[in-house]
Amino acid sequence: MNPDDYFEVIAAELDRYADVPDDVLLEIVTRDGRCMWLVENGEEPEWQGEYLSDRELAARICAGCPVRRECLELEFRTAGDQTVGVWGALCDEDRRAVYPVWLARRQRRGRDGGQVS
Q: Which residues bind ligand SF4 (CB under 6 A)?
A: 29, 33-35, 61-62, 65, 67-68, 71, 86-89
Using the minimum distance from each CB to ligand SF4, give the nearer residue, 31 or 111.
Answer: 31
Smaller CB separation from ligand SF4, 14 or 88: 88
d(CA 92, CA 72): 11
Comparing CA positions, the residue from 105, 111, 104, 85 lying closest to residue 16 is 105
**Three-class SS of residue 87?**
strand
| Closest distance to ligand SF4 from the beta carbon of 110 (Å) | 26
Separation CA 112–CA 117 (nearest Å):
9
Residue type, 44: E
Angstrom distance (rounded) from CA 104 to CA 61: 29
* CB closer to ligand SF4, 60 vs 111: 60
Minimum CB–partner distance for residue 64 and ligand SF4 (Å): 8
Nearer to ligand SF4, 28 or 105 (CB): 28
Query: Shortest gap between Cβ of 15 and ligand SF4 (angstroms)?
Result: 18
- Min dist CB 30 to ligand SF4, Å, is 8
Question: What residues have CB less than 8 Å from 4, skipping those under 6 apart?
Answer: none
